[in-house]
Amino acid sequence: MPPYYLQTLLQTIESVVVQLHEEFPKLHDAEIEWVYEQLLKYYKSVASKKEVEEPESTIERKQALMEEILNSIDLREEMAADAPYINNPEILHGTATIPSLAHLYTLAFKTLLKSAKTWRKRDGRKGYIKYIQQFLT
């Protein structure tokens, strides 16, 4: 079970995955993992105060997934949904506070990537999608 401070963020992202899978039924776990990896790299760079472009893909379903995840994160930022977890001494990841939203997103994508890989290896090329669908549909 992921830490409580990541749960709604993870649910938001996984809901996007389920919705995009309905729109693009050919979307499979390896492509989702690729998107998670690109977004993890992106937010790691942002957390390090580097100027970077948002990642892109030439494959329509991967690009659509990336854009929708980024849009959902932007919406969460507008609502300040994750702001209470930043620099809060009562919320520690390990022994430290979470210094920024970008750091929080990095933690989320590490968690999502691990889950996606686990379920794909366990249940095949759409194992992760099947796993999250049971909770989100």
Element (H, E) at 37: helix 29-47
Backbone angles phi, psi at 92, to 5 degrees: -115, 140
What pLDDT is recorded for position 60? 97
Position 135 confidence tier, pLDDT thresholds 50, 70, 90:
confident
User: What are the pLDDT digits (tens) for 2-11?
Assistant: 999 999 999 9
98 strand-pairing partners: 86
Position 136 confidence tier, pLDDT thresholds 50, 70, 90:
confident
Structure tokens at 86: 């930043």
The predicted model gives 30-37 an average pLDDT of: 98
Each domain of the chain, given as residue ranges in start order, spans: 4-136
88-91 long-range contacts, Cβ below 8 Å, gap at least 24?
Answer: 91/5
pLDDT score of 137 more than 80: no
Of 111, 78, 79, nearest to 5 by C-alpha is: 111
Distances from the Cα of 66 to the Cα of 16, 33, 99, 110, angstroms: 10, 11, 24, 16
Helix axes 29-47, 101-123, angle to 10 degrees: 160
pLDDT score of 1 more than 90: no
How many other CB atoms are there within 10 angstroms of residue 59's CB atom? Answer: 14
Structure tokens at 34: 């690729």
- What's the pTM? 0.95
